[in-house]
Amino acid sequence: MNKNQAKERIENLRRQVEYHAKKYYDDDKPEISDFEYDMLMVELRNLEKDFPEFKSEESLTQKVGGHVKEGFEKVTHEVPLQSLQDVFSIEEVNDYITKINQKAQENEIQNRKYVVETKIDGLSAALEYKSGKFVRGATRGNGTVGEDVTENLKTIKTIPLELKEKIDITVRGEVFISKEDFEKMNQEREENEEELFANARNAAAGSLRQLDSKITEKRPLDIYIFNVQKIEGKEFNSHFEELEYLSKLGFNVNPVRIECKTIEEIENAIQKIGDDREKLTFGIDGAVVKVDDLKFREILGTTAKTPRWAIAYKYPPERKETILKDIICQVGRTGAITPMAILEPVKVAGSTISKTTLHNEDFIKEKDLKIGDTVVIQKAGDVIPEIVEVKKDKRTGNEKEFKMPKKCPVCGAPAIREEGESAVRCTGIECPAKLVRNLIHFVSREAMNIDGLGENIIAQLLDKNLISNIADIYALSFDDIASLKKNGKKFAQNLIDSINKSKENDLYQLITGLGIRNVGVKASKILARKYKTMDKLMEASFEDLSIINDIGPIMANNIREFFLQEQTRDLIKKLKDANVNMELLEEDGQDNRFEGKIFVLTGSLESFTRTEASNIIEKLGGKTSSTVSKKTDYVLAGEEAGSKLTKAQSLGINIISEEDFKKMIK
């Protein structure tokens, strides 16, 4: 490679590395695997070494990746939070230890011990204590400046808010999510049709870097402390001694730390951590080898990016070949139909893999997967098995194309894929796979508002076979409900009263409760006012629906297809038989004082929930919006109103208080 070619390749690699570093560190949404990123960095580092004239301090080989997220206060680290030099072979580890031992001999260092620890796959953070009390916590950021995430860190139960000694100390740890908790999180996100976390590290990083600590509190974050950054009033000779002291103070210290003296012992420790990788409750992406003698560390010093007294050995991802025996489809709680690969069982990274998700139709096409293919399996982030490659050269011609079903494999209702979406969905209102989700939505406050019929009670009713569809709610007896709770007579009567009351709801609430795709409360009110009865709505043509303001062709198609289904008509008949109201209750001469006006709600209100306030505005002919613009007429500002209030002030929009609002609706 000549100089011009090297320069061009270096510039190209820097662009790639910077892009992927941003996706990884700043956005917490990586697009390539850690191994692929590491290989780009290795190539860049080697080229910069071979062509030093192109070396730059701005290269990510010379500085830590990551920036401070907008919305967080900046924290300057007194002691920089550096990253580690990565190595990818035992030979590189041996070379490093040989050089360090030579340095130790030159400086007459007697303690030539090393500590080998797990490299936890998480987000680095510094915790600062004054007189034993936790006062501040920050992310690593770019190593010099991080983000103040004190309130978020306080939600992590394993972080002591007060130490067992009144001491000034700053420690460094790794925030992570355990393998089990990560699997549960992604399972819940899949059921709720939310984007899955790529790996546990990014789930932890995204959770810690939330601007709202209430969101962080709901995430199962944990932390292991692995270093003393700064301490006053105490001195230590060795790193291992520091770790023991941190445990006594009450910190949750990295549990895997092995003392070693020789290269052979270090090799064995790395091998042992690799062998035990599957048994660990937390994810790792390597083993860290550290010099134990703290005075020797000072002699060795650091570069701008990495300490010279430690390296990280990165384990290569394990890949195995197997056969894609079949592709089956599963239906989630929201109706999303997900293809699942059935594999010839194969052991990868200590686990036997027999199936894995194929995500959606596009993934199958992108990988060009066929039933009968030989495929390569890898465990992503040590947790999720995935198909990374098809061995097309091993095809025999007997492989079969897979096509997504046109009908739901559970209930037989039409399965559709809407424009702009990747998921194919079941459209059946009575589909057993969607039943729990449909029931929860039907009884919710914005729909039929059946107070007391929460998710837990619904689960019990289903377990006892007391309900099998939405209409069965109206056939429940007092005794059915009372049997769910000890001394449940009062609860049963309250729930029966709430169920009976819901029969008298307005038509728009029933339309909302049916859960038609893309049809929320606003659209339901428009439809109820337009058609007046459920029968007329059911017979409305696509042409009539599509010309209604705020409905449009996509929603119109969803509504028409929904009411053409046999399942839907069967449910409506059952609800009619149960005497559920099917007509508009609003009078023709209704009050439209807010007609043409757009309101934005911000902050917390005392006398209303936001839903209640929105309902009042819409009942009086107005509209609500989630964003402030020049078209906004009023901003209803409650307590702790935020950026929306500021924007409204800058645009000169009419800002009203809760008291003003009460006067307007009186």
Judged against a pLDDT cut of 70, whether residue 63 lies above it is answered with: no
State the average pLDDT over residues 504-528: 92
**For residue range 196-208, what is the model confidence (pLDDT) as tens digits?**
777 788 888 888 9
CATH code of the region 319-394:
2.40.50.140
Quick one: pLDDT band at residue 358, thresholds 50, 70, 90?
A: very high
Per-residue confidence (pLDDT) for residue 381, from 0 to 100: 52
What pLDDT does 203 receive? 87
pLDDT at res. 350: 61
Which runs of consecutive H residues, i.e. helices, occur in 276-360?
Answer: 294-300
Overall fold of domain 427-577: DNA polymerase; domain 1 (1.10.150)
Token pair in block for residue 486: 């000890």
The residues annotated with a catalytic role in the active site are 119
Q: Give the per-residue pLDDT at 585.
A: 87
**pLDDT tens per residue across span 559-607:** 999 999 999 999 999 999 999 999 998 655 567 889 889 999 998 888 8
**Percent of the chain residues past pLDDT 90, beyond the cut:** 58
**Mean residue pLDDT across the chain:** 89
Q: What is the mean pLDDT of residues 158-185?
A: 93
Q: How many CB atoms lie within 10 A of CB 150?
A: 17
The predicted model scores a pTM of 0.58
Q: What is the pLDDT of residue 587?
A: 58
Domain at 598-665: CATH architecture = 3-Layer(aba) Sandwich (3.40)
Asked whether residue 211 carries a pLDDT value surpassing 70, the answer given is yes
With a cut of 60, say whether residue 382 has pLDDT above it: no
pLDDT in tens, 81-104: 999 999 999 999 999 999 999 999
Check residue 383 and give its pLDDT: 59
Taking only the tens place, the pLDDT of each residue in 545-569 is 998 988 988 899 989 999 999 999 9
Cα–Cα distance for residue pair 195/207, rounded to 1 Å: 14
610-651 residue pLDDT tens? 888 888 898 888 888 888 998 999 999 988 787 888 889 989
* Stretch among 57-61, 108-112, 365-369 having the lowest mean pLDDT: 57-61
Q: What is the pLDDT of residue 441?
A: 92
pLDDT given at position 69: 62
Within 10 A of 136 (CB to CB), how many other CB atoms are there? 16
Domains of the chain: which residue ranges?
Answer: 3-54, 74-313, 319-394, 427-577, 598-665
DSSP 490-526: HHHHHHHHHHHHHTT--HHHHHHHTT-TT--HHHHHH
pLDDT tops 70 at residue 388? yes
What are the pLDDT digits (tens) for 476-497?
A: 999 999 998 888 899 999 999 9
The whole-number average pLDDT for the span 24-47 is 78
Pick one of 3.60.20.10, 3.40.50.300, 3.30.470.30, 3.20.20.70 as the CATH number of 74-313. 3.30.470.30
Torsion angle (degrees, nearest 10) of CA 91, 94, 99, 101: -170
| End-to-end alpha carbon distance in the chain | 80
Same fold, 3-54 and 598-665: no
Percent of the chain with pLDDT over 70: 96
Q: Which fold has domain 3-54?
A: Helix Hairpins (1.10.287)
